């Protein structure tokens, strides 16, 4: 695994979830595009963490690096495109191998995703939210002094 070569000492967990058929189908489609879901705990010079508005709560920036790109540069691209903030990944917090099963049809084979949680530092002075706010058309963003428990997936 390329992450193990670049970063050392991060935990790797494995878990399986049984989900309804629709969620299983969506997971299967995502696996065709790639296998990594990247979440980024991005900190600025004031040690505040960047959060984006999610469906029900504020969460860390996240997305799927393209199958054609390496995970870390793809993760940095996702953060920049979604928030306007440039960053550099500095470490891997954890990786989870997530098996997803169809709870409606237990005989279907599981599909697998990697959930990677990274830490990163802001690298661009021009795009800081304090000086010139980046206006996202798809989601709101903000810096917070603490990372909420619900901001990063628990698996």
Q: Does residue 130 register a pLDDT over 90?
A: no
User: Hey, what domains does the chain have and what are their CATH numbers?
Assistant: 2-143 (3.90.79.10)
Q: Does residue 62 register a pLDDT over 50?
A: yes
What's the pLDDT score for residue 33? 82
For residue range 69-117, list pLDDT tens digits in order. 899 999 999 999 999 999 999 999 999 999 999 999 999 999 999 999 9
For residue range 50-60, list pLDDT tens digits in order. 999 988 889 99
Per-position DSSP letters for 16-38, written without gaps between them: EEEE-HHHHHHHHHHHHH-SEEE
* Percent of the chain scoring above 70 in pLDDT: 89
Helices (H) and strands (E) in the chain, counts: 3, 8
Distance (Å, whole) CA 6 – CA 51: 26
Residue (of 47, 35, 116) closest to 75 by Cα position: 116
Average pLDDT, the chain: 87
Distance (Å, whole) CA 148 – CA 92: 18
Question: Would you say how long the chain is, in residues?
Answer: 155
For residue range 2-30, list pLDDT tens digits in order. 777 777 788 899 999 999 999 999 999 98
Q: Can you read off the two tokens belonging to residue 114? A: 């990697």
Who contacts 109 (Cβ-Cβ below 8 Å, separation ≥6)?
A: none
Residue (of 31, 123, 131) closest to 79 by Cα position: 123
């Amino acid at each position: 695994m390329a992450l193990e070569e670049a970063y050392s000492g991060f935990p790797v967990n494995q878990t399986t979830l049984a989900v309804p058929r629709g969620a299983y189908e969506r997971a299967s489609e995502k696996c065709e595009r790639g296998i990594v879901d990247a979440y980024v705990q991005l900190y600025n010079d004031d040690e505040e963490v960047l959060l984006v508005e999610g469906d029900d709560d504020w969460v860390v920036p996240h997305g799927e690096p393209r199958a054609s790109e390496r995970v870390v540069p793809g993760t940095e691209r996702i953060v920049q495109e979604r928030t306007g903030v440039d960053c550099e990944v500095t470490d891997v917090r954890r990786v989870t191998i997530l098996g997803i099963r169809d709870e409606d049809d237990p005989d279907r084979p599981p599909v697998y995703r990697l959930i990677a949680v990274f830490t990163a530092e802001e690298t661009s002075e021009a795009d800081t939210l304090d000086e010139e706010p980046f206006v996202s058309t798809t989601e709101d963003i903000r810096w917070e002094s603490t990372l909420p428990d619900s901001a990063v997936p628990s698996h």
